[in-house]
Amino acid sequence: MDTVQHIRQPGTVTPHSGPQYHTPSWAKHVIWYQIFPERFRNGDPSNDPVAERVHGPRGWEIMPWTSDWYSRAHWERSMGPNFLDSVYRRRYGGDLQGIIDKLDYLQSLGIGALYLNPIFDAVSLHKYDASCYHHVDRFFGPDPEGDARIMEQEDPMNPETWQWTTADRLFLKLIDEVHQRGMKIIIDGVFNHTGTDFWAFRDLAAKQQGSPFSDWYAVRSFKNTDDSDSEFDYAGWWGHKSLPEWREENGTLVRPVREHIYAITRRWMDPDNDGDPSDGVDGWRLDVPEEVGVDFWKEWTSLVRTINTEAFTVGEIWTDKSGEWVNGDLFNAAMNYPFAKAVQKYMIDRAIPVDAFLKRLKELRRSLPEEASFVMQNLMDSHDTPRLASMIVNPGREYNEEGRPGEGFDVRKPNAEERRLQKLIALFQYTYPGAPMIYYGTEAGMWGAGDPDDRKPMVWKEFEYEPETTHPMGKNRPRDDNNFDPKLFDWYQRLAKIRNEHLALQTGSFELLAMDGENDFFAFARFLSHEQFAVTVLNRSEMSQNIRIPLSDVSFPELRYMDNPLTDTRHAVGDDHVELNLPPVAGAILIPVRGD
């Protein structure tokens, strides 16, 4: 018998007339750092994943952290002749202890908030295929086997039976360590779909219509034992059957699914359930929110704000629709992919002139509540895109399109000129309105094509890495050194220090001061008052040039000098302007000097 049930339709947002927009103040002042846990740091080799859990072939073992990325292990070759045949079965052993061990590193980089890709128990390396929402992945904690036994003792439907595994407790320790450093932490909420190993879906797949969870998922048809031609079919995210989607009706997830998600939301935001959320996560990054009914998000957001009025929520919105989702009813911010696309078109591809670039950014700012501009996550890359350094090596492609080696994407390391452009982009990222977000390893010099090559093991200063000499398509390539880049790290560290020390770079308005399309430079101020502002100057051209920047609209009469903390140089101010010489593809940050 065919049973056609409600299939999810992408969420649509009507014009906003709800509560006034508000965002936590702390979110205006932080620099974000995105961590892909499995590839960040192996802090406890005793908890490394095992072949049985990852469905590894005979001979499967953990990959060496410092190995040549495209070089394949013996067990990988048994899965097929191509790199992509086996790479998704790789594990490197990244875990929560590794993150804890590197919090001082992150703090030294000026990071104020962490965004962790999914941490809940799951089979895959990326964890977007949850096996459950109420436990941290067993291999992220110190006792995977013991945690599995604890999970087996529970009724996942009944929160009163939920216990705390060793991985859960280590995550709570991570939260505490983050908070002790004055930092924040948010986690990934994947509420459109689960994995096929999710406890409710496993029961559904086994019992079909007889399962108590038969109405939880978007089932198209059930298997009928009396009909050999019948099949079990359901909606999977973008057609991926490994990611079955929750069922919706009337613009929201069905009630039992909603109630379960609300229960795990409370669990991670207020772990001891005492009304004080300081021991819980500081917010959520929401995966593919446009594919879930808007009414669900409104109800869920209301719950989040009831638990913690200073919680931060950010949606994965790739298009210009951020303005529809960032409001008083829904999210505080969005991952600012439109910002990244604009920067790529102007600064990397040279596909648009500077005036069109600035016009585009102005359109994006105006599409948001004014306060939201300061908390948008201004990223350039993520786990879903080629890395920034490799975007620069491969100009002229649409953002996140044709980003794999098989599509002609060059996998080599950036050269010195390309690194110069990366540094200029970072300078803009750290001084433009919004919260800069760095994908793990960008500051250390990591490069890579799109998924899976954007998920290499983190490059650490204390390790010696094999050079990259192998090409996934069997082509010739340079022998590329793959060790930590201290000069690039110092650049990101210095940018962070400047931003963190100057409030104008965090919450100042954007004021365009100069723009020259022919010579390809522009300058802008982040303005709080005539006593408190900062000026950014960017020379995107391939030539050195003297640049004159008018200051009459932002400065105070007694201003005589401005300092550039990037180069530790001082520039005289005369007749309401400042002049400086910039090399090709370079920039400056100018801070007014008080007194003589």
Q: Which pLDDT band holds residue 471 (cuts at 50, 70, 90)?
A: very high
Active-site residue flag, 287: yes
Task: With beta carbons less than 8 A apart as the criterion, state whether 536 and 513 touch.
Answer: no
CB-CB contact of 133 with 119 (8 Å): no
Q: For tokens 């002790």, name the residue.
A: 180
Cα–Cα distances in angstroms (integers) from residue 13 to residues 112, 153, 238, in the given order: 32, 42, 21
Average the pLDDT over 292-312 and give the result: 98
The CA radius of gyration of the chain, in Å to the nearest whole number, is 25
Q: What pLDDT was estimated at residue 557?
A: 81
Given the structure tokens 């995977």, which residue do they identify?
144
| pLDDT over 60 at 208, yes or no | yes
User: Which CATH number applies to 26-191+251-495: 3.20.20.80, 3.40.1440.60, 3.30.70.260, 3.40.50.1970?
Assistant: 3.20.20.80
pLDDT tens digits for range 180-190:
999 999 999 99
Taking only the tens place, the pLDDT of each residue in 514-526 is 999 999 999 999 9
443 in active site:
no
**Is the pLDDT at 15 greater than 50, yes or no?**
no
Stretch 526-553: mean pLDDT: 95
Write down the mean pLDDT value for the chain.
95
Res. 547: pLDDT tops 70: yes
Closest CA to 176 of 277, 95, 47, 303: 277
**45-81 burial by CB neighbour count: b if 16+ within 10 A, else e?**
eebbbebebbebeeebebbebebebbebbebbeebee
Please tell me the distance from the alpha carbon of residue 527 to that of residue 328, in angstroms, as a whole number: 26
Q: Identify the active-site residue in 38, 137, 287, 454.
A: 287
Among residues 121, 129, 248, 316, the one annotated as catalytic is 316
**142 vs 595 pLDDT, higher one:** 142
What one-character-per-residue DSSP string does 284-297 give? EEESSGGGS-HHHH
Q: What is the pLDDT of residues 226-256, one digit of tens each?
A: 787 889 999 999 999 999 999 999 999 999 9
pLDDT at 596: 60
Measuring CA to CA, which residue among 257, 253, 237 is closest to residue 245? Answer: 237
Q: How high is the pLDDT of residue 18?
A: 62
pLDDT in tens, 102-135: 999 999 999 999 999 999 999 999 999 999 999 9
What pLDDT digit, counting tens, does each position of 435-455 carry? 999 999 999 999 999 999 999
Domain covering 506-592 assigned CATH 3.40.50.880 in the classification: no
Query: By three-state DSSP, how is residue 439 classified?
Result: strand
DSSP state, residue 442? G
Domains of the chain, residue spans: 26-191+251-495, 506-592
89-107 pLDDT tens trace: 999 999 999 999 999 999 9
Alpha helices in 328-394 (DSSP H): 337-343, 354-366, 388-393
Please state, for a pLDDT cut of 90, what percent of the chain lies above it. 93
Cβ proximity of 441 and 106 under 8 Å:
no
User: Helix (H, G, I), strand (E, B), or coil: what is residue 568?
Assistant: coil
| pLDDT band per the 50, 70, 90 thresholds, residue 400 | very high
Q: Which pairs with CB-CB distance under 8 Å and at least 24 residues apart come from 218-226?
A: 218/5, 218/6, 218/7, 218/8, 218/244, 218/245, 218/246, 218/247, 218/248, 219/3, 219/5, 219/247, 220/2, 220/3, 220/4, 220/5, 220/7, 221/2, 221/3, 221/4, 222/1, 222/3, 224/1
